Amino acid sequence: MPDSLAQLIRLHEVAGSGYWADRALAQLDYAAELTRIDRQLDGRSLKAAVDGLSRRFGTDGAVTRQAVEEMEAALAPLASRAREHHILCVGHAHIDMNWMWSWQETVSITIETFRTMLDLLGEYDAFTFAQSQASVYHIVEQYAPEMLPEIRRYVDEGRWEVTASHWVEADKNMPSGESFVRHLLYTKAYLGKLLGLAPEALEIDFEPDTFGHSTNTPELLSKGGVKYYYHCRGSHDHDIYRWYAPSGASVLAYREPLWYNAEMNSGWARFVPSYCERNGIDTMLKVYGVGDHGGGPTRRDIEMLIDMQGWPIFPALRFGTYREWFSLLELHNERWPDVHGERNFIFSGCYTSQSRIKRGNRRGEEALYRAEWAAALAATRADALYTTSLFEEGWRNVLFNQFHDIIPGSGVIETREHAMGLYQETMAVAVAREAQALRAFCERIDTSAYGEEGDAMTRLPDCAHGAGVGFGVSRGKISQTGRGEGRRRIFVVFNPVFAEREEPVELVIWDWAGDSKRLRVRDSAGGTLACEVVQSGTNPYWGHRYLRLLVHAKLPSSGYATLVVDEDLGARSEPKFHEGYDFRVELPATFVLENELVRAELRSEDLSLMALIDKSSGENVVDGGRLHGGGLRLVREDDSKGMTSWQVGRYMTVNSLFETLHVTSLSLGEDRLCQSVDFKATFLNSSITGRVLLKHQSRLLDYELEVDWHEVGRRGEGIPQLQYHIPASFHCATYAYDVPCGVIRRDGCAMDVPANAWAMAEPADDAASALMLIGDSKHGFRGDGDALSISLIRGSFDPDPYPEYGVHTIRLAVGPVADRTNLALAKASALWRHAPMVMATRASAGPLPATASLAAIESGSVQVMSVKQPEAAQGLELIVRLVEMAGEDTTVILRFPAAVHHASLVDLHERPMDGPAPQINGDRVHLRVGHGSIVSLRLALEG
């Protein structure tokens, strides 16, 4: 045998290409693998075939048809064994959404690819084709609807296989868990309507190119009716396995061992024997078709496949489908290993590249959560309109941009520009519907007791109705438009988080002629609240003026509170609020921000965080003496690996950012509702304006940054990176990260790893305080060396040469953590990410109380993923989606603002599920939720 193999190698070197040479060498390679795998096969046939072909080649100077037929005759004893292996061939067109091209090119390649597939399906009766991604079918519906009847016909015949369960082939690490739910919900509903497919027919999630997979993917897929998962990246161990989520839910997963883009050729047949032996089956899947830029199988591919079906010493080839493949695998379920945990990592640079896209995604997800929450509750309590179709439109834009080359930032300039336009469309939906819902709600709240007496004409100088339209929208808020008139103003503050909160809330007061020294704020019970004017004087805005103040408010869980602003005419007109510097005495310059919970000590030279003390325990969680303490720093990465958008290079240099820093404002003192240090700094070609702040009763030190980034990476010079880094004062046993629908703990790792919003450095001592770092839209965290860092901006340069050039707004926070449970961490993150929503209103009578909780979790280790109305709502119905966070079975009690008429569990497609029904007790619902599980509750409230 060794001599035969050596001869075979020489034949490969000299025989060249051409049909007969390729046919001969492919069959010899396959026969050699067969004899290697199966020791019982007689190797003499292979030796005779190789010797004969070698002699003929030496005589003829080429591999001729006659020589190949003689070779095949010599191999005839192996023919029956050769045909015991099978190759199931599935044609597919991998279509990247806007990867290296613009939207119009994506539309063109989709339509042209589909036209080719329809032509080939009409010409070849055995040919089958599979296509994923609901978005490409939507392209056809929008731009080439005349093709739809043909597609439907081949779908009905079973020759066009729809493998879409997501709107796009999405990234599986950075989107929220609710985003994955919407992929499943909208895709199955859309394709069911467009192509007449039942939801259970869409049971495959086809994600060949996705850059890694979070640990709860099987839970999300299985709850969405998906049974099978196809992927290529993220692991290198098993070809076929049963993948389990922490909940115990599972999918049958297949990792492509070759590649998902390929022309039909003969070379890969040699992999079949070892593949079949390794997995104990007689069939291998082969995905073929030109991809990335579409194209799919060609006539050449089909003709090649048909021809190879007649080769005598070759696997038995046939056209087929993915469903056929997975059905075959299910016959051998007992053979497949069980796999638990995430399937990561690949392309860690994609957790940070093109940060504007990631910011748009996070803003869109969170704005849609708030808008749906407001609209659903307003629909059930205030008879407001719930716009299901508009919310779906907003979500579709977000889902499209979660494609695995868009949200990762591995696209070109046109990719980014199109994505940012879609995000603006989504934010328009979210902001408009949130404002309409809250306005409708405010009109039903009884605020008649807070009206101001007197003739309207006497209040004209103080009329604020309609002033300041659009104020705050650029920051992702609803418009802070003024309503009402006179010195007394009414605000309703909404809390979209299922937890009580007590914190400073910002109010904007328009065209108010009162004395800010006498200004006061009261709650609905008449109690006076601590408040602080933060911006007064003349602040012009499109023909109006405003002042801003902070009010310490207590807000009920998933509810609202009414606040009344007016003048305290009995008070003396003297400075009782903080309005900048008070030049009475001169004190030493200190940079300490301290409240009743934490103390943060900043170094005056560069604002490095030298200490962060948990006052409940006295522990300092930051090592201020190491690496200049915690703060912003500039990293230069080695670009020698290339693919700078995809890969984070080795750190070549790490420098403190603030070498020229100017403190522009100080607002310190424990009596303040918000202490802060404002600064400006320059570095290299860029500048930064920022604020470090500590709010009353907060455990988090916040950073608000505006970075004018002018750094550009260049080949051979490296990649500039802006990073926030904080060393812990303790040895970190593990690092915790939030992932879609849960929390994962990882060992320290000197590379960026993904998280949705936060990471935590965890000491070995269970009683000790931990250190938490939260970002508003960043996903590249690094827990290593007893420190945490988050990559804020990376100046990658390919394929987009200038992805970050310009102004960036960034928020992040760091703080000590006493309660390290997953639920507490998730709650802290939700409260930080979802600020209270403020709506100015006028006095009016209504049936709703001035302050109320609209929903609450009274027990159970669950977090709310979304509150919405059903897609086909009937009356006062809600969908409340929960995920269990503690990793244990739990009994959940939910309280609502009215008696519950009906409650049932539904799947992610909002269809009834079998199993024990939730128990109703007046305005409360009791239900059991399994560990790590997602549960959707559909309920109807009494009117």
Task: Scan for tokens 């997501």, then name that residue.
Answer: 166
Task: Scan for tokens 């988050």, then name that residue.
Answer: 790
pLDDT at 475: 85
pLDDT at 579: 45
Instruction: Return the H-helix or E-strand segment holding 553.
Output: strand 544-555
The amino acid sitting at 593 is L
Q: Which of 575, 604, 724, 610 is nearest to 666 (CA)?
A: 604
User: Can you spell out the DSSP letters for 691-760?
Assistant: EEEEETT-S-EEEEEEEEE----BTTTBEEEEEEEEEBSS-EEEEEEEETTEEEEE---SS-EE-SSEEE
Between 928 and 915, the more confident residue is 928
For residue 878, what are the CA distances in angstroms to 83, 178, 374, 386, 435? Answer: 58, 16, 12, 11, 19
Token pair listed for 716:
């051979």
Q: Which of 375, 455, 351 is nearest to 794 (CA)?
A: 351
Give the C-alpha separation, 579 to 392, whole Å. 45
The amino acid sitting at 97 is M
Q: Which of 752, 749, 813, 746 is nearest to 777 (CA)?
A: 813
What share of the chain has pLDDT > 70, as a percent? 95
**pLDDT band at residue 196 under the 50/70/90 scheme:** very high
3-state secondary structure of 444: helix
pLDDT at 516: 85
Q: Which of 845, 936, 806, 940 is nearest to 882 (CA)?
A: 936
101: number of Cβ within 10 Å: 17
pLDDT at 925: 98
Please say if the pLDDT value at position 660 is more than 90: no
Please say if the pLDDT value at position 510 is more than 70: yes
* Cβ atoms of residues 550 and 534 within 8 Å: yes
3-state secondary structure of 89: strand
Task: Scan for tokens 């309660």, then name that residue.
Answer: 819
Task: Return the bridge partners of 27, or none.
Answer: none
Give the C-alpha separation, 107 to 109, whole Å. 6
Token pair listed for 549:
């103040």
End-to-end CA distance of the chain: 84
Give the C-alpha separation, 295 to 147, whole Å. 17
User: Which is it for strands 489-495 and 540-541: parallel, antiparallel or unpaired?
Assistant: unpaired
DSSP letter assigned to residue 118: H
Longest dimension (CA), the chain: 116
Please say if the pLDDT value at position 123 is more than 80: yes
Give pLDDT tens digits for 538-594: 788 888 999 999 999 999 999 999 999 999 877 654 444 444 445 555 555 668 999
pLDDT at 1: 47
Give pLDDT tens digits for 226-253: 999 999 998 889 999 999 999 999 999 9
The amino acid sitting at 639 is D
**Nearby residues of 590 by Cβ (< 8 Å), 6 or more positions away:** 668
Instruction: Return the H-helix or E-strand segment holding 275.
Output: helix 272-279
The amino acid sitting at 442 is C
Task: Scan for tokens 């860092």, then name that residue.
Answer: 789
**Nearby residues of 774 by Cβ (< 8 Å), 6 or more positions away:** 700, 757, 758, 812, 813, 814, 828, 829, 832, 833
pLDDT at 20: 93
Rounded to 10°, the helix 2-14/19-37 angle is 160
Give the C-alpha separation, 420 to 634, whole Å. 27
* Cβ atoms of residues 779 and 174 within 8 Å: yes
Contacts by 684-693 with C-beta closer than 8 Å and gap 24+? 684/634, 684/710, 684/711, 684/720, 685/710, 685/711, 686/710, 686/711, 688/632, 688/657, 692/593, 692/600, 692/602, 692/607, 693/593
Instruction: Return the H-helix or E-strand segment holding 792.
Output: strand 787-794
Task: Scan for tokens 């990793």, then name that residue.
Answer: 887
User: Which is it for strands 856-859 and 890-895: parallel, antiparallel or unpaired?
Assistant: antiparallel
pLDDT at 627: 61
Give the C-alpha separation, 868 to 873, whole Å. 10
The amino acid sitting at 5 is L
Please say if the pLDDT value at position 171 is more than 70: yes
pLDDT at 95: 97
Task: Return the bridge partners of 245, or none.
Answer: none
Please say if the pLDDT value at position 454 is more than 60: no
Please say if the pLDDT value at position 285 is more than 80: yes
Measured at the alpha carbon of residue 773, what is the angle toward residues 646 and 769, in degrees to the nearest 5? 140
Find the mean pLDDT for residues 507-520: 90
pLDDT at 421: 98
DSSP letter assigned to residue 407: T
Give pLDDT tens digits for 739-788: 999 999 999 999 999 999 999 999 999 889 999 999 999 999 999 999 99
Q: Which of 453, 439, 461 is nearest to 510 (CA)?
A: 461
pLDDT at 517: 86
Q: Which of 768, 620, 652, 809 is nearest to 718 (CA)?
A: 652
3-state secondary structure of 937: strand
Give the C-alpha separation, 700 to 136, whole Å. 44
Find the mean pLDDT for residues 82-98: 96
**Among the listed ranges 430-439, 587-596, 820-829, which one has the minimum average pLDDT value?**
587-596
pLDDT at 625: 79
3-state secondary structure of 16: coil
Q: Which of 681, 735, 668 is nearest to 708 (CA)?
A: 681
**pLDDT band at residue 456 under the 50/70/90 scheme:** very low
In 570-700, DSSP assigns E strands to 592-594, 598-602, 609-614, 619-620, 631-637, 651-656, 660-667, 674-683, 686-695
pTM: 0.95
* Cβ atoms of residues 901 and 942 within 8 Å: yes
Q: Which of 783, 776, 851, 761 is nearest to 813 (CA)?
A: 776
Give pLDDT tens digits for 399-410: 999 999 999 999
Give the C-alpha separation, 552 to 841, whole Å. 19
Give the C-alpha separation, 361 to 401, whole Å. 7
Please say if the pLDDT value at position 63 is more than 50: yes
Measured at the alpha carbon of residue 768, what is the angle toward residues 766 and 769, in degrees to the nearest 5? 120
**Among the listed ranges 346-350, 421-425, 590-594, 815-819, which one has the minimum average pLDDT value?**
590-594
For residue 924, what are the CA distances in angstroms to 236, 498, 903, 910? Answer: 48, 15, 10, 21
Give pLDDT tens digits for 861-878: 999 999 999 999 888 999
Q: Hey, what's the torsion of the CAs at 426, 430, 432, 436, to 10 degrees?
A: 160
HSE value, Cβ hemisphere, 13 Å, CA-based, for 704:
10
